[in-house]
Amino acid sequence: MKAVVSLNSGSSSIKFSLFVLDGEGALRLSAGGKIEKIGIAPTVTARSVEGGVLLERAWPDGATLAHADLLADLFAWAGDHPLEGQEIIAIGHRVVHGGTEFAAPRLVDTALLEKLEALCPLAPLHQPHNLAAIRAIAALRPELPQVACFDTAFHHDKPDIASRFAIPRALHDQGIRRYGFHGLSYEYIVRRLAEIDPALADGRVIAAHLGNGASLCAMQAGKSVDTTMGFTALDGLMMGTRCGSIDPGVVLHLQAQLGMSPAEIEDLFYKKSGLLGVSGISSDMRTLAASDAPEAAEAIDLFACRAAREVAALATSLGGIDGIVFTAGIGENDADIRSRICSRLAWLGVRIDELANVGNCPRISMPDSPVAVLVIPTDEERMIALHTLNVLGNALGAVA
Ligand code: ADP
């Protein structure tokens, strides 16, 4: 059976999913797993969709294995353990930045890799790891087609006004503009919403991707009109460890008065801020919810308050809203956060049914709420696999 692998490579982890093509050409998840703690004490786990452990491996503290070494190990294992005759025909990658040029997924070749390499300064914590995985696989299996799926692509055609910072035009022209991210997640939400409620999918919807990284996207008829992340994945909402929107004067102060270097400021804003920074306890929403500390309560309150404020801002970009969709780790599971955000938006006509909310039901709004509120689990891996098949089909003229 033919299969497609989705890869999502971060700084210290690589998530992978294996989808098989069934008789009708639909994708069925077959297995998935994670390489974690890269650079510290790497572990690899893979499970079948039924939950059976396929692979479990751990290296000791200080093992200096890079992304490429661990992917080579995974491929060697896959080569020795053919997954019930599944034949991998392509690998799809999440690539965080497609810049101004790429509005759709692309088949990887040397020229594309060079262009994507040039975008590394725009996403220094993500892009290099995305490309390292592509390079590692090209070296291991040069014949295997690889497809780059961009997190920015979904926002590529948003109105110019949603792409500009109020800075001199020359800087915008050299790429200092609002790109937006989490596009693969939003694309998947659009597909699912069209199945669940086609009329709503055709209207004005704000999707709230609330995970460790968090952003909102304002969509009109399934197209991105505005979004909270901007030039980098730091902008917008408060996140697990990222600060979200911040007065640029703070950056100047940290540099000029506190003598912090660019690397220290980067570390502060990406890794030590957000829920972690405000609570001083954890970046994990579940840990904070279980804590009695007032700092944890304040961090949760700030998270919800900032999210609600940004929903209201995006409602203006849309000229009103017909629906809100919550997704990702917090959005899909945390009824308390959804309730806090929605109650702050009551003036916009948002009224949720608390019973349905606690049940994480697809529709959590009251029947007479002018704004529909839904919970839809996202699946970026499936979106990558779908794009990969599609690009492959276009490249080959047909998909088997
Ligand atoms: P990412 O993919 O960006 O790493 P996730 O989408 O997995 O992040 O989201 C992680 C966040 O979701 C964490 O803050 C975690 O506490 C929260 N989360 C996951 N499951 C639950 C749950 N059942 N209840 C509340 N929060 C949850």
Give the separation between CA 328 and CA 76, rounded to whole angstroms.
Answer: 32
CA of 330 to the centre of ligand 1 (A): 5
Res. 107: pLDDT tops 90? yes
Listed range (72-86, 165-179, 230-244, 320-334) with the worst mean pLDDT: 72-86
Ligand 1 atom at shortest distance from the alpha carbon of 284:
14
Residue 397's pLDDT is what?
59
**Mean pLDDT value across residues 120-148:** 92
Ligand 1 atom at shortest distance from the alpha carbon of 287:
16
Res. 242: pLDDT tops 80? yes
Residue 64's pLDDT is what?
77
**Mean pLDDT value across residues 293-321:** 98
Question: What is the chain's mean pLDDT, rounded?
Answer: 93
For ligand 1, which residues put their CB under 6 angstroms from it?
211-213, 240, 284-286, 328-330, 333-334
Give the separation between CA 317 and CA 324, rounded to whole angstroms.
Answer: 14
Most ligand 1 atoms within 8 A of CB, residue of 12, 330, 334 to mutate = 330
E strands in 130-202: 146-150
CA of 284 to the centre of ligand 1 (A): 7
Res. 399: pLDDT tops 50? no
CA of 79 to the centre of ligand 1 (A): 33
**Mean pLDDT value across residues 172-197:** 96
Give the separation between CA 358 and CA 96, rounded to whole angstroms.
Answer: 33
Most ligand 1 atoms within 8 A of CB, residue of 333, 340, 381 to mutate = 333
Q: In what order do the strands lie in the sheet with 214-220?
A: 223-227, 214-220, 204-210, 323-327, 372-375
User: What is the rounded end-to-end Cα distance, in angstroms, of the chain?
Assistant: 10
Q: Which residues are catalytic?
A: 151
Ligand 1 atom at shortest distance from the alpha carbon of 209:
6
Res. 396: pLDDT tops 70? no
Half-sphere exposure for 108 (CA within 13 Å, toward CB): 29
**Mean pLDDT value across residues 338-356:** 97
Res. 103: pLDDT tops 60? yes
Q: Atom 13, ligand 1: which residue's CA is nearest? A: 284
**Mean pLDDT value across residues 240-244:** 96
Ligand 1 atom at shortest distance from the alpha carbon of 275:
14
Residue 29's pLDDT is what?
94
Residue 82's pLDDT is what?
63
**Mean pLDDT value across residues 342-361:** 95
Which of 201, 198, 216 lies closest to 327 in space, CA to CA?
Answer: 216
Most ligand 1 atoms within 8 A of CB, residue of 17, 125, 184, 212 to mutate = 212
CA of 334 to the centre of ligand 1 (A): 8
**SS percent in the chain: helix, strand, coil, step 5:** 40, 20, 35
Q: Atom 27, ligand 1: which residue's CA is nearest? A: 330
Helix, strand or coil for residue 90?
strand
Q: Atom 12, ligand 1: which residue's CA is nearest? A: 329
CA of 259 to the centre of ligand 1 (A): 35
Which residue carries 């939003």 as its tokens? 186
Burial class (CB in 10 A: 0-12, 13-18, 19+), 161: exposed
Res. 84: pLDDT tops 70? no
Q: Which residues contact 79 (CB under 8 A, 6 or more apart)?
A: none
Res. 398: pLDDT tops 80? no
CA of 175 to the centre of ligand 1 (A): 32
Residue 352's pLDDT is what?
97
Residue 66's pLDDT is what?
83
Most ligand 1 atoms within 8 A of CB, residue of 210, 286, 341, 376 to mutate = 286
Ligand 1 atom at shortest distance from the alpha carbon of 286:
16
Residue type, 38: I
Residue 175's pLDDT is what?
92
CA of 248 to the centre of ligand 1 (A): 29
Q: Which residues pair with 34 in a beta bridge?
A: 15, 45
Res. 349: pLDDT tops 70? yes
Q: Which residues contact 395 (CB under 8 A, 6 or more apart)?
A: 107, 145
